[in-house]
Structure formats: structure tokens, C-alpha cells
Amino acid sequence: MQVDAWHDAHVDGREVNHMVQRQGVVFSVLALVATLVALYVPRMTAPNELLVIGTLIVLMGVPHGALDTVFARTRYRLSSWQRWLGFTLTYCGVMASVALVWYYSPSLFLIGFLVLSAAHFSGDPTPGTMALSRIAYGGAVVILPALRFGPEFEHLFGVLVGPAAAGKVVPWINAAATPWLCLLAVSTVLEFRRCRRTALELTAVGLLVLCAPPLLGFTIFFCGMHSTRHIIRALSMVEPRKRTAVAAAGVVPMIGVIGLGALLWILAGSRPVETKLIQLLFVGLAALTVPHMALVEPFRLRGWRLDATEDLTSSTKR
């Protein structure tokens, strides 16, 4: 199918860009409000905060990964149950491999998780954003919380991978935090001259992760920015009349993730609730991130478009 035909069947690129811009403004307002609340309103108790975080990530964060079926169908031409089964087993195998790295080499797991997360988040800004700004933006989410919440940050990593492994990584994050803040500030000024909306997003993300408690700030970013923007872009690659069916198809992976999470929770036994929840959420996110990136990044590097020779609609009919 030719590129013009693809545009006729799917959402126009300008319309998608407008949707992304509006979402960016909404997120920026939300992030700035959350920043003010974090600065002037007493913090929730730890159990309540974890409950809110877990609920938001499961209901609003994880679903964007469930739309990997959109990218898998067109990239691998999945047209039969045998191909879908092979893809599913491979996807789950990669997830299991990440979990094994966490179990046997927690330091390597933590470094890989932080680097991959920063790289993946750098794809959020709109096309045309400078590479320097993308690096500053993606790294800010995983580095800047150390400036204001250093002890809590180290404690969270200790819960996730153990104090010994966290002790090897956290000092490097602390050392990078101030230079990274400067890098984000410079990037924001440069982007302001090019695109004020992008500069607003960089400012909002920076203030959010600096001022909000680490887990809560990450969750608001992950759900309000990263996940929401990804869903907009993924659904834009599907014909409008088929979006309901595609969204419904994402329910099956969601049920699988929730079921696997429940099983892991039971297997974790008598560990403290905080430990089980943090490990479940972030080991799970890391395990999902690796195959998710393998699917999504080629589309992001093409500007969130299919090749002229590819078409999602035709691949679903095979």
C-alpha cells in the first residue's frame, strides 16, 4: 500500500500531532499541580502511597504495553494462531530472562533497567526534539529524584535489588544528578526557542521528579505522560473503525499480567508488603520493557509510521 493510501485509512499525521500536543499540555498542568501538592500538602502514609501507585500503574501504565499486539501484528506478519503462539512464547521467554537477571545479578539488572528506561522514555517528545533534549528528558526521570530524596531513593533501590547491589549503583546516580539538572535546564532553554510546548514538557517532568516523592513522581510521569502518549500513537496506526477491537485485544495481555502478578505475590511468601509490591511492580516493568522496546523502537525511529510497503490493516486480514 502506498503512503498516501495509508494516510487515507488512518489518522492524519497532523491530527496525531495535535492530539499529542494537547496531551502534553494536560500532563504538564497535572505535573505542576502534583509538584505544588508535594511541596505544600502532607505526604500520604507509606501503605496508602503504595496502594495508589500500584493501582495507577496496573490500570493506566501497564495497558500501553498490552498494545504491543498492534506493533507485533504488522512487524512479524502474524496471521495464524501458530505464529501468535510463537510470538507469545518468545515475548514471555524474554520477560523470564530479565527476571532471572534480577535474581542472579541484581547490579546488572539495576543498571540495565535504568539505562533502558531512560532510553525508552527519550522517545516521548515530539519529532524534531533535539537529541540533547531527549537524553536530558529520559535520564531526568531516573536520576533527578536523587537530588531531593537521596536516602529514600537508595532505600527503594535496596528493596528492589538488595542493599549491596544498590550501594554499587546509587553513588554514580548521586554524582550525575546535579550535572543532569544543568543539562535539563540548558535543553529546556534551547527547546523554548524551537518549541515552547516541548520546553513546557521538559520543565514539568523536571519539577515533578525533583519535588514529588520518587515512586509517586515516577508513577504520575509513567501513567500521565509515557503511557498515555504511547497509547495515542499506537491507536493512530489503526483504522478508526478497528480501534475498539484492538483495544479489546489488549485486555487479554492485561489479564495475563495481573494473573502472573498475583501468582508472584503468592510465591513471595511472608516478605514485607512494601518489599513484595516494589519488587513486583518494578521487576515486572523491567521484564516488560525489554520485549516492548524491541517491538516499539523501530516504529519510533521511523516517526511512529509504518513503512510504505507495510500496512497494519492488510496484515490483520491475512
The answer to whether residue 58 scores a pLDDT higher than 60 is yes
Confidence of residue 289 (pLDDT cuts 50, 70, 90): confident
Residue whose grid cell is 495515542: 232
Picking from 289, 265, 259, the residue whose alpha carbon sits closest to that of residue 277 is 265
Q: Tell me what pLDDT residue 80 has.
A: 78
Confidence of residue 8 (pLDDT cuts 50, 70, 90): very low
Backbone angles phi, psi at 311, to 5 degrees: -150, 125
Q: Tell me what pLDDT residue 120 has.
A: 92
The answer to whether residue 299 scores a pLDDT higher than 70 is yes
Confidence of residue 3 (pLDDT cuts 50, 70, 90): very low
Cβ(190)–Cβ(132) under 8 Å?
Answer: yes
Confidence of residue 314 (pLDDT cuts 50, 70, 90): very low
More confident residue, 207 or 63: 207
The answer to whether residue 216 scores a pLDDT higher than 60 is yes
Q: Tell me what pLDDT residue 248 has.
A: 59
**Which of 149-158, 199-208, 237-246 is predicted least confidently?**
237-246
Average pLDDT estimate for 124-139:
94
The answer to whether residue 231 scores a pLDDT higher than 70 is yes
pLDDT tens-digit series, residues 163-183: 999 999 999 999 999 999 999
Question: What mean pLDDT value characterizes the chain?
Answer: 82
Confidence of residue 318 (pLDDT cuts 50, 70, 90): very low
Phi-psi category of residue 41: left, alpha or beta, with phi > 0 → left and psi -120 to 50 → alpha = beta
The model's pTM is 0.84
Average pLDDT estimate for 251-276:
66
Q: Tell me what pLDDT residue 239 has.
A: 66
pLDDT tens-digit series, residues 244-259: 655 655 565 566 666 6
Picking from 217, 219, 185, 220, the residue whose alpha carbon sits closest to that of residue 202 is 185
Average pLDDT estimate for 214-222:
94
Q: Tell me what pLDDT residue 172 has.
A: 95
The widest CA-to-CA distance across the chain, in whole angstroms, is 58
Residue 276, amino acid: K
The answer to whether residue 242 scores a pLDDT higher than 90 is no
Burial 170-195 (b: 16+ CB within 10 A, else e): beebeebbeebbebbeebbebbeeeb
pLDDT tens-digit series, residues 65-122: 777 877 777 777 777 778 878 888 888 888 888 888 998 999 999 999 999 999 999 9
**Which cell is 166 given?**
544498590
Confidence of residue 40 (pLDDT cuts 50, 70, 90): very high
Identify the sign of the CA torsion 217, 220, 223, 225. negative
**Which of 166-170, 219-223, 250-254, 293-297 is predicted least confidently?**
250-254
Confidence of residue 267 (pLDDT cuts 50, 70, 90): low
- What is the number of residues in the chain? 318
